[in-house]
Structure 1
Amino acid sequence: MIARYGDLPQDPVSAWFAETFPHQDLLRTRIAANLHRCPVMLTDPPNKSYFGHVVELAIGLALCDQSPYPRLLHCLDPGLATRLLTMADYQATVASAASHDTVRRSDRALRPAHLFTAASRLAHVRILLNEFDRHYSDAVARTRHVLEQYPHLLHGRPNETYQTRRAFRTVWSSYSSGFHSAFRSYGPATAQVSLLDGHRHADFLLGTTVLEVKSGRLDENHYLDELIRQILTYALLAHHDGHHVTHVAVYATRYQRLLRYRLDELTNQLAGNLIDLTATGAELAALIRNQPRRRFAA
């Protein structure tokens, strides 16, 4: 007899979320109503996954004071890595320094066209690195070797790049209208935050706010359920790892909306009772550690 989908047992982490936070539907309804009132941005990039990478990486390059995404940059020739950071307006902190590890963001105004070029190159690196990460422990070395042999992989298909650039211009115009200033006001930015020894990775930690960037659709319940679980996971694990986290936020670029919640108030509401963040984070961490290890997502 074949089991129906609804009869299949939940994995331990999903079951824990359902039991610990039984009122997630309240947040889902709230987010859906909020986004429903927002004008949807009319962008249609040919490769939505690639586009999402480009947007996230460009935001990281624009926000971080020090060189972000070191793992991606180490997949490149040091000279090329430094050139990409220079395009994104990072400057060496020492006149003779040649390493991309010794740069800091300059005070110059952001240049969207240059940011796109740097972010799009790094997006191709990330996609290749993620493929190697699924199978090899030396993924960085393998990625670097392949890119040395086939440097054209950094450029992608011309037509896809052109259409992605057009969509990026639209998103970046919206981002520059106030979201960048809001993010900077939250505090110093760290991109691709490794949590629980690399079991999970949050898009950003801005001061005491964990931020998730979403470039795709959020118009169906399963998208919102996944989003809610993501932000709760990242916030609880960040707290467990010793980060001082007070808020969790979502930047929905397609809807031109920033949603931000106090972590303690949110978890209490979704649980229906007072939540001990330290104990709850430790429970979740233990469950995730007992799962098969996910490969690193750059």
Structure 2
Amino acid sequence: MITRFHHVPQDAVRAWFAEAFPHQPVLRAEIAADLRRCPVLLTDPPNKSYFGHVVELAIGLALCDQSPYPRLLHCLGPGLATRLLTMAGYQPELAGAARYDAGRRNDPPLHPAHLFTAASRLANVRILLNEFDRHYSDAVARTRYVLERYPHLLHGRPQETYQTRHAFRTVWSSYSSGLQSALRSYGPATAQLPLLDGHRQADFLLGTTVLEVKSGRLDEGHYLDELIRQILTYALLALHDGHHVTHLAVYATRYQRLLRYPIDKLANQLAGTPIDLTATGAELAALIRDQPRRRSEA
């Protein structure tokens, strides 16, 4: 998804990427040419950041076999969390408040309206949690307290939610027409993969593919430059953390396009020479650890 770029000093990381992978402009041009050939979905949600959260969360709820986003669910009471999971097609495995977020997916097909309700509620939880995360170590407890006192915050602004629902229908129709099957073919889904002890977080790990979901525009060079650094970072850090990663991918929802690359081949192409992915990942990890700590978005 398109997220806010965190305003922490990134010059050292960007300089490292420019030196380690000098042929990034070649990939940027290839992606730009590819996306220009794609039919663009005419969606114009009022709050693009909120819309991006909704789309990513809906995909996670639809893809994962076990209920994802436990940190968001822990911001809710067990009854509400269970209702949202049920809307998203999960069946709680165990009774009791301690395990309300432990569930497995049911077989019946999802109803898009129910999925939107669950995803949009969790998106509002995420936005509130992210605000507390910037300042407090007990962000989950604070978020839960606020939502208990002000439950209307879960619903967001009525007009914004209505317009977002309309845009979501358009994206979900495209996603369900074949892209979902392609993503499922990559393997079991893990949502919100924490990397490097939480310094970074990938949207998904599908089998051995690191996937980033982008719901906004990618029609300018600086968007693509950031995207390339982002997906390379996630793939290299996932390898550094011991995950078996063979591919990295981007699902550009606005362009109805799924891009997927073998990590070794792509890294060698961008570097202009064969490289050691393990050593490269360790070098990047050390560099990121030296940057000011940023909290991953929930």
Structure 2-normalised TM-score? Answer: 0.95
Structure 2 CA distance for aligned equivalents of residues 10 and 237 of structure 1:
16
Cα deviation, residue 102, structure 1: 2.2
In the alignment, what sits opposite 1:4? none
| Superposition map of 1:1-298 within 5 A | 11-94=11-94, 96-97=95-96, 99-298=99-298
| Residues 95-128 of structure 1: per-residue CA shift (max 9 Å, x gap) | x455333210111112110000000000000000
Structure 1 CA distance for aligned equivalents of residues 233 and 196 of structure 2:
11
Q: What letter is aligned with 2:133?
A: D
Q: CA RMSD in A?
A: 1.1
Instruction: Judge conservation of contact 1:199–1:294 (CA < 8 Å) in 2.
Output: yes
Instruction: Judge conservation of contact 2:73–2:101 (CA < 8 Å) in 1.
Output: no
Structure 1 CA distance for aligned equivalents of residues 186 and 107 of structure 2:
18
Which ranges in structure 1 are unaligned for 5 or more consecutive residues? 1-8
Distance change (3 Å), C-alpha of 1:82 and 1:44 = same
Q: What letter is aligned with 1:13?
A: V
Instruction: Judge conservation of contact 1:85–1:100 (CA < 8 Å) in 2.
Output: no
| Residues 116-174 of structure 1: per-residue CA shift (max 9 Å, x gap) | 00000000000001111111111111111110110000001111111000000000000
Tell me the SS of whatever aligns to 1:219.
coil
Structure 1-normalised TM-score? Answer: 0.95
Cα deviation, residue 14, structure 1: 1.0
| Residues 203-232 of structure 1: per-residue CA shift (max 9 Å, x gap) | 000000000000000000000000000000
Instruction: Judge conservation of contact 1:84–1:118 (CA < 8 Å) in 2.
Output: yes
Tell me the SS of whatever aligns to 2:202.
strand
Structure 2 CA distance for aligned equivalents of residues 192 and 294 of structure 1:
16
Instruction: Judge conservation of contact 2:10–2:291 (CA < 8 Å) in 1.
Output: no
Instruction: Judge conservation of contact 1:38–1:256 (CA < 8 Å) in 2.
Output: yes
- How many residue pairs get aligned? The number is 289
Q: What letter is aligned with 1:138?
A: D
Q: What letter is aligned with 1:23?
A: H
Q: What letter is aligned with 1:263?
A: I
Structure 2 CA distance for aligned equivalents of residues 208 and 239 of structure 1:
10
Cα deviation, residue 296, structure 1: 2.5
Cα deviation, residue 275, structure 1: 1.2
Cα deviation, residue 10, structure 1: 6.8
Cα deviation, residue 17, structure 1: 0.4
Which ranges in structure 2 are unaligned for 5 or more consecutive residues? 1-8
Percent identical: 83
Q: What letter is aligned with 1:30?
A: E
Cα deviation, residue 79, structure 1: 1.1
Tell me the SS of whatever aligns to 1:146.
helix
Q: What letter is aligned with 2:124?
A: H
Cα deviation, residue 67, structure 1: 1.1
Tell me the SS of whatever aligns to 1:226.
helix
Tell me the SS of whatever aligns to 1:194.
strand
Structure 2 CA distance for aligned equivalents of residues 296 and 232 of structure 1:
17
Structure 2 CA distance for aligned equivalents of residues 10 and 61 of structure 1:
32
